[in-house]
C-alpha cells in the first residue's frame, strides 16, 4: 500500500497521509516541537501508547467527552486551561485523535491557543478521515445550533491511519461511506464503480478497496477546498466548495428533527436520494442516474427513505439552512454524473413531490 500523500494546495498547503500504520510517521512532523498535547475521547485512550511511544516530546493527554458533547465552550476552556498548566508555547503542537467531533474541537483549540499553533489531525473515523479533518473547518456547537463558533484553520498535516478503523462501529463506517459515495456522485464516478464492484470489500475496515475509495474521496475534497477554502457563494454551474453540500440541505433538516441521534452520513444518504429525485423531476438527470443513487446507497446499508408526513416540518427547517444565504432555498443538484450545480428556488410543489417519491420508488 502506498503512503503517497495527497496535497491540499490552499492558503497554507499541507498533505494528507492515508494508509495502514501511517501514524508511525508522526515524529517526522514534530521537528522543533517541545511539547505535544493529544486531545482525545475516553474511548480512544487505548491508542495513545502506540501513537506517543516513539516521541521525544513531553506529551500531555487531554481527555474530552465523546462525540458532540466535546464541542462546547466549557470543554474548549478546559483544553486551554490544560495547555496553560503544561506551559504550552507557540512552538508546541496539538494533536486531535478521534472522530470528526474531536478533530473539530482540537483544530479550534489549536487555532485559538496563542492565536494559532501547529495542529496535526489523526482521524479515527471514516467520516473524519474523508471529511471533517480535511478541509480546514474547525469549531464547536452552541445550544442555538451546531458549528456556530469556529474558524478556518488548516492542519499542519493529516495522518489517516487505517489501522484505527479496526474498532470503528459498523454504523460509523457506513456513515462515512455516505460521504465517500457523495464524492463519487459530485466529482469522481470511479468511486461509484470501485464501490459497486465489491460493496462487501469496500465496507471491510481497512481493506485495499476501502483505502482506494478513501484516497479518491480525499482527492475530491482537496480539489474543492483548494479552489475555494472559505466556501464562497456559488452560482449555477460555477460551483466551488458548496458542491460538497450535495444531499446536505435535507440531511441537516433530518438531523435536526432526529435531535442528532441519526448519524450524519445516514441523513446525507436520504438527502442525496431526495436531491436526485428533485433533479430527475426537473429534467436534469435521467431515471437511471436517480436509481443509481438508491442502489449504491442501499448496497452500503444506508437509509434512503423517510416518513412521508415529515415534509412540512423538514421544509421549514430547510429554510433555516446556512446554504440558504438569503431568503431563497438553494440546492446542490446534479445535471450529470460528476457535474453539480446550484439551483435556486426550485418549485415548492416539485420539492414536495420529490420527497413523497423517495418512499415510493
DSSP string for residues in 222-287 = HHHHHH-TT-PPPBTTB-SGGGGGTTHHHHHHHHHHTTT-S-HHHHHHHHHHHHHHHHHHTTSS-H
Q: Say whether 248 is catalytic.
A: yes
Pick the closest to residue 97 from 66, 72, 75 (CA basis).
Answer: 66
According to the binding rule CB under 6 A, does residue 164 interact with ligand NAD?
Answer: yes
Backbone phi, psi, residue 325, to 5°: 40, 70
For 278-287, give one letter per residue: b (16+ CB within 10 A) or e: bbbbbebbee
Q: Which is nearer to ligand NAD, 182 or 292 (CB)?
A: 182
Q: Which is nearer to ligand NAD, 139 or 346 (CB)?
A: 139
According to the binding rule CB under 6 A, does residue 155 interact with ligand NAD?
Answer: no
**What's the rounded Cα separation, in Å, for the pair 260 and 283?**
33
Q: Which is nearer to ligand NAD, 51 or 284 (CB)?
A: 51
According to the binding rule CB under 6 A, does residue 249 interact with ligand NAD?
Answer: no
CB 139 within 8 Å of CB 176: no
Q: Say whether 24 is catalytic.
A: no
According to the binding rule CB under 6 A, does residue 100 interact with ligand NAD?
Answer: yes
Residue from 172, 231, 255, 277 carrying the catalytic annotation: 231
The interface with ligand NAD within residues 261-280 (CB under 6 A) comprises 264
- Helices 264-281 + 248-257 axis angle, to 10: 130
Place of cell 492558503: 11
Which residues 6+ apart lie within 8 Å of 351 measured at CB? 278, 315, 329
Binding region for ligand NAD (CB under 6 A) out of 63-71, 188-196, 309-317, 331-339: 63-71
Q: Say whether 40 is catalytic.
A: no
According to the binding rule CB under 6 A, does residue 186 interact with ligand NAD?
Answer: no
Q: Say whether 12 is catalytic.
A: no
Stretch 119-148: interaction string toward ligand NAD, x if CB under 6 A? -----xx-xx--xx--x-x--------xx-
List contacts with ligand NAD (CB under 6 A). Answer: 41, 43-44, 66-68, 71, 98-102, 104, 124-125, 127-128, 131-132, 135, 137, 146-147, 164-165, 167-168, 172, 175, 264
Amino acid at each position: 500500500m502506498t503512503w503517497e500523500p495527497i496535497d491540499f494546495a490552499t492558503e497554507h498547503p499541507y498533505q494528507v497521509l492515508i494508509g495502514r500504520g501511517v501514524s508511525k510517521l508522526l515524529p517526522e512532523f514534530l521537528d522543533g516541537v517541545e511539547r505535544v498535547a493529544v486531545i482525545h475521547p475516553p474511548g480512544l485512550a487505548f491508542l495513545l501508547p502506540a501513537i506517543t511511544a516513539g516521541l521525544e516530546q513531553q506529551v500531555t493527554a487531554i481527555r474530552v467527552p465523546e462525540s458532540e458533547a466535546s464541542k462546547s465552550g466549557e470543554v474548549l476552556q478546559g483544553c486551554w486551561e490544560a495547555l496553560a498548566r503544561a506551559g504550552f508555547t507557540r512552538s508546541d503542537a496539538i494533536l486531535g485523535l478521534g472522530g470528526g467531533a474531536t478533530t473539530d474541537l482540537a483544530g479550534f483549540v489549536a487555532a485559538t491557543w496563542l492565536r494559532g499553533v501547529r495542529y496535526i489531525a489523526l482521524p479515527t473515523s471514516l467520516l473524519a478521515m474523508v471529511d471533517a479533518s480535511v478541509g480546514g473547518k474547525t469549531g464547536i456547537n452552541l445550544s442555538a445550533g451546531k458549528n456556530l463558533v469556529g474558524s478556518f484553520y488548516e492542519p499542519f498535516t493529516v495522518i489517516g491511519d487505517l489501522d484505527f478503523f479496526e474498532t470503528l462501529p459498523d454504523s460509523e463506517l457506513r456513515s462515512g461511506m455516505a460521504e465517500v459515495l457523495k464524492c463519487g456522485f459530485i466529482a469522481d464516478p470511479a468511486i461509484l464503480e470501485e464501490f459497486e464492484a465489491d460493496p462487501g470489500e469496500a465496507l471491510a475496515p481497512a481493506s485495499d478497496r476501502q483505502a482506494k475509495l478513501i484516497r479518491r474521496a480525499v482527492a475530491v475534497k482537496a480539489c474543492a477546498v483548494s479552489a475555494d477554502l472559505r466556501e464562497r457563494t456559488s452560482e449555477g454551474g460555477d460551483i466551488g466548495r458548496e458542491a460538497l453540500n450535495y444531499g446536505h440541505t435535507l440531511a441537516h433538516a433530518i438531523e435536526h428533527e432526529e435531535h442528532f441521534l441519526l448519524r450524519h452520513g445516514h441523513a446525507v444518504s436520504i438527502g442525496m436520494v431526495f436531491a436526485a429525485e428533485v433533479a430527475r423531476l426537473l429534467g436534469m438527470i435521467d431515471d437511471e442516474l436517480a436509481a443509481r443513487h438508491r442502489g449504491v446507497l442501499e448496497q452500503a446499508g444506508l437509509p434512503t427513505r423517510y416518513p412521508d408526513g415529515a415534509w412540512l416540518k423538514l421544509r421549514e427547517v430547510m429554510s433555516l439552512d446556512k446554504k440558504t444565504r438569503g431568503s431563497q432555498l438553494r440546492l446542490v443538484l446534479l445535471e450529470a454524473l460528476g457535474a453539480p450545480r446550484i439551483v435556486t428556488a426550485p418549485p415548492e410543489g416539485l420539492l414536495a413531490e420529490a420527497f413523497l417519491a423517495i418512499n415510493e420508488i
